[in-house]
Amino acid sequence: MRLTLRQLRVFDAVARHLSYTQAAQELHLTQPAVSMQIKQLEENVGLPLFERLGKKIFLTEAGKEMHGYSRSIDAQLAEADTVVEELKGVRRGRLRISVASTANYFATRLLAAFSKEHPGMSFSLDVTNRESLLRQLENNECDLVIMGRPPGNMDLVTEAFMDNPLVIIASPDHPLVGENSIPLERLRQETFLLREPGSGTRIAMERFFAQRGVTLTTGMEMTSNEAIKQAVEAGLGLGIVSIHTMELELEAGRLAVLEAEHFPILRRWYVVHRRGKRLSPVAQGFKQFVLERAREYLRLPR
């Protein structure tokens, strides 16, 4: 059987509407053009596909069979179209991104800005700690990761895009608030609240004090920056967090940053993916957006 896609499209429209006039309107064709396509198709098939009874037209047995096929061919073509569109551009892709819990303070703003510029895209965002990000990279479970200091022992493409200063926070009535160059030794008399073991903030903090031979007194352990900030505000101890988590608390005067020697701990943010991963256009687009424009979306407290 020899037929063209154009004939099939016209046939599908007539079969749905059971009307040459309405099919012609839908396809922006004239009615004689529609009749001509159907006539040619019937010749190619070798059987009539419609029959006319009075003023109405109906599908013949062969027409009903053909309609089943024309519908599924149409659905397949639409699917192919979507897939190719996705491959061609950012417009309709899906992005799987995972970010360090601390990076989430700006990552959602970045995603919002990016998706405004690419309204057809969709994304899934996983917010988790460093350890679990590394596992996701290992298992190829996400397109891109935003994290602090990537490990050297994995085959990754990593690009730094922004500083991430870690600061010591205290409740505003803490006696060290307002002092300058607080010696690290002095901090030994304080209790520090800790993030959970898989946290990048925690690793950076431990490395910093270990390198300087200072052993801190540590208190409670918590799995989020929010919990740390609340506990510090409640006077349970001092904390070390990224300045990016502090916008609201500093503005409201609910927490203070201590001016300790050698602080802040300088850490950076990286956008990361596995080497050799074929990034989709949307992932590639978002990565570029992060590298070029992340700083526009950052609100650093004064």
Residues contributing to the site for ligand PGA (CB under 6 A) = 100-102, 129-130, 147-148, 164, 195, 199-201, 267
35: left (phi over 0), alpha (psi -120 to 50) or beta: alpha
| For ligand PGA, the closer CB: 267 or 287 | 267
Least separation in angstroms between residue 252's CB and ligand PGA is 22
Q: Which residues contact 109 (CB under 8 A, 6 or more apart)?
A: 297
Token pair in block for residue 87: 């491959």
| Contact by Cβ (8 Å): 297, 247 | no
| For ligand PGA, the closer CB: 106 or 114 | 106
| For ligand PGA, the closer CB: 35 or 108 | 108
Residue labelled with tokens 């989430």: 104
Least separation in angstroms between residue 220's CB and ligand PGA is 16
Residue labelled with tokens 């959970």: 196
Q: Shortest Cβ contact with ligand PGA: which residue?
A: 200
Least separation in angstroms between residue 268's CB and ligand PGA is 9
Distance CA 205, CA 85 (A): 46
| For ligand PGA, the closer CB: 98 or 129 | 129
- Where are any strands of DSSP class E within the chain? 50-53, 56-59, 94-100, 122-128, 144-148, 156-170, 191-195, 217-222, 239-242, 256-257, 265-274
| For ligand PGA, the closer CB: 267 or 274 | 267
